[in-house]
Each structure stands twice: as C-alpha cells, then as structure tokens.
Chains A and B, each alone.
Chain A
Amino acid sequence: MKYKVIIDGGFTGIRRTYEGDVSLEKEELESLVSALKESHLPTKPPLNDGEQYRWILESGEDTIEAVFDEQNHPPTLRKFLDEIKAKQ
C-alpha cells in the first residue's frame, strides 16, 4: 500500500509530507481505509494554528483521499502517522 500524508498549517506554517510504501495485514489495511472513510467534515470553526492532514492511500486499483483537521483526525490515522514519523 502506498501512502502520502501532507501536514499543512500549524503554528510553524511549515508544510510536511510523508510518503512511502508498506505492506500491511488485511485487518490493519481495512482499519485504515475505514478511518479514511469516516465523516471528515469540520465540526467547529478551524482551530487557530491547528494542522490539516491530507491523506492519500493507494491499494491495488483503489485510491482514497481525505482531509482532516486537528479536531477530527481519527486515532487510527494518528497512530499510523506516529509510526511513520518514528521510522524516519
């Protein structure tokens, strides 16, 4: 599975991109896809200095893209992102 995560905004205003290719267990992939399909419409006015997270996952023929704010970034995606960052 190919992933790309673009973090935009935040106090620093510095855009960061994380991308790579990982093989995941079926359950883990399904969990990520399910999190990406969660409702991600902002529920509040944007946080001042809150980050925005643009996710793009490519698995087989499918490409899923979603954008989240600090308030609604699903824990499953946060955990995956923390793991990606820790490996870099």
Chain B
Amino acid sequence: MCTAKTCFIIPPHILEALAKQGNISCKKALNDTKRILSERNEALNYLLLRTEAEKDGERFVYDSQGQYKQRVELSRTEDGEPSGDTVVNQAFETSGFVRDYFENTFGLNSINNMGMPVISNVHYGKAYNNAYWDGDEMTYGDGDGIEFKNFASAIDVVAHELTHGVTQFLANLEYEGQPGALNEHFSDVFATIVKQKYFNQSIEEADWLIGDSIVTPAFPGTAIRSLKEPGSANDFDRQPAHMDKYYNGPDDRYGVHINSGIPNRAFYLCCQEIGIEQASLIWYHTLKKLWRTSNFQDMVDIISDVTQKLASEGRVSDSAPAAVSQSFRSVGLETQLV
C-alpha cells in the first residue's frame, strides 16, 4: 500500500501503474536503490570538498593527464584563476553555462537540486573518443585527432552529459532498452536547447545536430546525431525516426543511442509548432514525472497529461496539447489515456 509518504512491498508493475497516476511516493519507491547509492556517493564526494552549508553547485575541473583515471589533478575551481590549459577552461565555461541554464530556467540548484558540485575530468585516456557521466561527475576524452576532436569543448556534448545527471536525480531512468533510450532522448533534447541558447539561435537558424563540433573533416558525416532527421548524421547513424523502424537488437544496451531517434524527432516536430520555450517546459515537467522503468508509451501518456495541466494553468498555449499529441503520432506513438 502507498500512503502519502510511504510505499510498502508492492510488485513493481503495480508501483508503475500508481506512479503513472501521479503517486509521488510510488515513483520514489521505483527510483529507490540506485538513487540512494548515487546520493550516498555524491554526499561522500561532497564532504571531501566543502561543508554542508555552502552547497551551490561549484565547478571543479580535473586533468586526467592522459590516464584512465578521474580526479588526477585539480586544475580549476569556481573562484580560482583560469588555467593555462584551454580545454580545462572550456570545460569550466561550458559546464557553468549548462548549470546556469537549468537554474535560471527551472530553478534547479545544480544537478541534483541540492547544490551538487559540478565536476569535470578532461584529457581522459589516450586518443579517447568518448565522454560519459558516471553518476557523480563528467569525463571527457580528447578524441583521436583523426575523426574526433576534444569532447569537453562542445556545448552540446557537455549539456548532454550534465543532463544525464539531472535525469538521474529527477527520474533515474535505467540505462537499457526504452527507459535507456528515453534517458538518451532527454540528454539530446536539453543538449539541443542549451546549444541554441549558447549560440543565440532561433529554431530556424539551428542545425538540430548533436556533436557536429567534435567531428573532423575526415569523419564520414557532419555530426553524431540529428533531431531533425534521425539516421542522417553520419554513415553509421542507425537512428530510426519512426516506430516502424524500431531497433529490437541487443547492441548499445538494447539501442539506447539508437531508438532515442524516435522521441528526438517528436521533440523537433513539436518545437516547429509551439516553439522551443514551451517545449522545454513541457519536456522538463515530463521528466520530473517519469520513473526508473518508464517506456515510450509511459512517456507519451505522461507528456500528454503534463501538457494538458500546463495549458490549463496558462503556462503553455491552448494549442500545445494537440501539437504534442500530433508530434508523437507522427513518429508512431499515441497516448492511451482517455
């Protein structure tokens, strides 16, 4: 049974059904153990750095010095002098821009809304073509210099990784299958929004690409992903733009970076109808309502509900609910709520 504050032992499918109906305590129960582990790690890390009263999302940039290790050398702090290393300064600046976007737009106090430090590691590994979020901090490779460039300098890559942190604390979407694809989707959505803010672009001027600035001319494509045309960003891009082409295989943790193309396309279409400001508000409030095992159908049902509520409060336009529904219908997803 769920009361206002407590969930007892209830099968996950029932918790999910209750969470879908808006039961916050059930959603919290679903997001349970991994979040507790993450928060404990965060708390332990934080205690090493600052006192409890001073939490305000301060930035720390570490240099991995080409090793496969994090926190090798602290190179820049919030109030410290700029580093002599351009990549350190880029990671500092871009992570601050993303942190400030979430705070200024949604009132979020850093990644976890509790002032968690924003920690970046740069120069990780040798010719490392990747960036990741590990539950506590971000880590960036320099790229191989042949097909990829430094990952920490790209505002969309940094926004993508930092949004994984926000998602972890708001919904803790598990990183596999459809919940994993939604996790990737939200990272690409806020990467795109932040990138357009960073470059002060309108939706007409924007390219809707992710990772265009980390690929070299030798790379066989223009970017890593495209929200406008999933599957078109490069020769390896397997993203579908519609449920008709849904990937059912085991690669990439059952397609987390593949099937995210489907909701990504819906987001792009929705922005064309109601603009990116309203869309960002709808997507953020939807993320807050999702839970660890949410699938695409849950997403469509929740976003429909959230949009109706925001429209009834006058926070988005009256046309927004129909625009959201039509965008998802266009990619083969339809709400089952009546």
Contact = CB atoms under 8 A, between A and B. Distances in A.
Contacts, number: 87
B144 A85 contact: yes
Contacts of A85: 127, 144
Interface in A1-43: 8-15
A33 B236 CA distance: 32
Contacts of B238: 13
B130 A49 contact: yes
A8 B250 CA distance: 11
A48 B175 contact: yes
A47 B134 contact: yes
- Report the interface size class on chain B: 35 or more
Nearest to B260: A13
Contact of A47 (B133, B160, B174, B187): B133
B197 interface: no
Given A47-B135, A51-B130, A78 B236 contact: no
B132 A47 contact: yes
Contacts of A70: 132, 134
A8 B183 contact: no
A43 to B, nearest CB: 11
A65 B182 CA distance: 31
A11 B160 contact: yes
Contact of A12 (B126, B161, B168, B224): B224
Nearest to A70: B132
A45 B211 CA distance: 25
B262 to A, nearest CB: 14
A69 B133 CA distance: 13
Interface in B124-178: 125-127, 129-135, 144, 148, 151, 157, 160-161, 164, 168, 174-176
Contact of B211 (A8, A9, A12, A50): A12
Contacts of B56: none
B318 interface: no
B178 to A, nearest CB: 15
A11 B132 contact: yes
Given A11-B211, A78-B68, A85-B144, A46 B130 contact: no
B175 A46 contact: yes
Given A9-B253, A75-B68, A49 B144 contact: no
6 contacts: A8-B252, A9-B257, A11-B151, A11-B160, A15-B236, A82-B127
